[in-house]
């Protein structure tokens, strides 16, 4: 089915033999890690899913942060840069890199209606947790990094004694959007050693964190983003989103336009 859809789309575009359009880098980057193919139809780029659904690269709409959360295009996924390095206090409202997700792309990649069957039980630092089979190797590499780190620094031990969860078929608290946990691509550390914006009793929000730098570094080195990089902080939360940590994917829309 996908081959037929691709053929039809290419025919509609009318590209001449040998003429290869320049794929927007962020769309090409997405295709590295997810079950999508870049296609161009009538001068517009899309992420084509295996079932034929097309997600616009740029839907042409000016959106608020909440509108991006509710109805994102591919550009929206990259609209808030994820910044690694030293832990910093997040002060700008809605500076939440990675909280924008396209559920259809995650479902196509991680199993859709069969996502539960794709989960496996692994041991992370000796603790059992269910995660998607595709992220298990990366999570294993994180565990190896953390084992070495806590040998050097025993102060990390209290943060690594318990887990708050992995795969869970649920929505994000307070929303109707699927959690990253519903795809098995997220893991939560010990709640008692973490901070979460919904637990804060006073307003406005004030960023908080107790998770050490070494733990964050171990996860980010293997493609996991950290909820402590968010204004709406969730410091127990680590989520496999390699596209946001790939420096090659950091390119402005203007740069892509020059490649067209």
CB neighbourhood size of 36 (10 A):
24
Question: How many residues make up the chain in this entry?
Answer: 260
Reading phi first (left if > 0) and then psi (alpha if -120 to 50, else beta), residue 80 is in beta
Burial of 59 (0-12, 13-18, 19+ CB in 10 A): middle
**Per-residue confidence (pLDDT) for residue 174, from 0 to 100:** 87
Dump pLDDT digits (tens) for 141-198. Answer: 999 999 999 999 999 999 999 999 999 999 998 899 999 999 999 999 999 999 999 9
Q: Which domains does the chain have, with CATH numbers?
A: 2-76 (no CATH), 84-240 (3.30.1380)
Using CA atoms, how far apart are residues 58 and 147, in angstroms rounded to an integer? 42
Q: Give burial (CB, 10 Å; 0-12/13-18/19+) of 256.
A: buried
The pair of three-digit structure tokens given for residue 113, joined into one six-digit string: 């209606």
- For position 216, what pLDDT does the model report? 98
State residue 19's pLDDT score: 57
Residues 17-34: what's their mean pLDDT? 84
Closest of 98, 210, 89 to residue 160, by C-alpha? 210
Exposure class string for 197-225: b at 16+ Cβ within 10 A, else e: beeeeeeeeebebebbebbbbbbbebbbb
Residue 144: which of 130, 163, 136 has the closest Cα? 136
How much is the pLDDT for 223? Answer: 98
Q: Which two tokens stand for residue 12?
A: 């509609």
Percent residues over pLDDT 70 in the chain: 88
Q: pLDDT band at residue 14, thresholds of 50, 70 and 90? A: very low
| Encoded tokens for 248 | 């090659």
pLDDT at site 250: 77
* pLDDT tens digits along 67-105: 999 999 999 999 999 999 999 999 999 999 999 999 999
Q: What whole-number percentage of the chain has pLDDT above 90?
A: 83
Distance in angstroms (rounded) separating the CA atoms of residues 136 and 158: 23
**Residue 16 pLDDT grade (very low, low, confident, very high; cuts 50, 70, 90):** very low
* Summary mean pLDDT of the chain: 91
What is the predicted pLDDT for the residue at 254? Answer: 41
pTM: 0.89
The pLDDT, as a whole number, for residue 92 is: 97
Query: Across residues 15-20, what is the average pLDDT?
Result: 51
CA 146-222-123 angle, 5° bins: 50
Residue 193 contacts residue 158 (beta carbons within 8 Å): yes
Residue 174, burial from CB neighbour count under 10 angstroms (0-12, 13-18, 19+): exposed
- Check residue 23 and give its pLDDT: 93
pLDDT digits 0-9 by tens, 203-217: 899 999 999 999 999
Binned at pLDDT 50, 70 and 90, residue 251 comes out as low
pLDDT at 225 over 70: yes
Query: What does the radius of gyration of the chain's CA atoms come to, in whole angstroms?
Result: 19
How confident is the model over 4-15, as a mean pLDDT?
A: 48
pLDDT of residue 259: 39
> Parallel, antiparallel, or unpaired: how do β-strands 44-48 and 54-56 relate?
antiparallel
DSSP 26-69: HHHHHHHHSS-EEEEETTEEEEE-TTS-EEES-------HHHHH
Burial of residue 30 (number of CB atoms within 10 Å: 0-12, 13-18, 19+): buried
């Amino acid at each position: 089915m996908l081959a037929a859809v691709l053929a039809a789309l290419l025919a509609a575009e009318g590209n001449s033999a040998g003429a290869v359009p320049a794929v927007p880098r962020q769309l090409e980057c997405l295709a590295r890690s997810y079950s999508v193919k870049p296609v161009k139809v009538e001068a517009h780029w899309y992420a084509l899913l295996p079932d034929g659904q097309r997600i616009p690269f740029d839907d042409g709409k000016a959106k608020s942060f909440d509108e991006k959360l509710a109805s994102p295009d591919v550009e929206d996924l990259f609209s808030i840069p994820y910044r690694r390095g030293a832990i910093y206090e997040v002060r700008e409202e809605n500076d939440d890199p990675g909280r924008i997700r396209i559920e259809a792309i995650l479902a196509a990649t991680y199993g859709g209606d069969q996502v539960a069957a794709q989960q496996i039980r692994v041991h992370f630092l000796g603790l059992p947790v269910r995660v998607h089979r595709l992220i298990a190797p990366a999570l294993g590499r994180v565990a190896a990094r953390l084992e070495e780190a806590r040998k050097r620094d025993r102060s990390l031990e209290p943060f690594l004694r318990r887990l708050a969860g992995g795969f869970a078929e649920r929505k994000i608290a307070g929303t109707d959007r699927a959690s990253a946990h519903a795809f098995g691509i997220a893991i939560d550390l010990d709640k008692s050693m973490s901070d979460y914006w919904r637990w804060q009793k006073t307003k406005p929000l004030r960023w908080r964190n107790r998770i050490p730098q070494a733990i964050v570094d171990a996860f980010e080195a293997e493609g996991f983003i950290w909820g402590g990089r968010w204004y709406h902080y969730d410091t127990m939360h680590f989520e496999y989103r390699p596209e946001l940590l790939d420096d090659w994917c950091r390119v402005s829309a203007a740069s892509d336009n020059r490649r067209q």
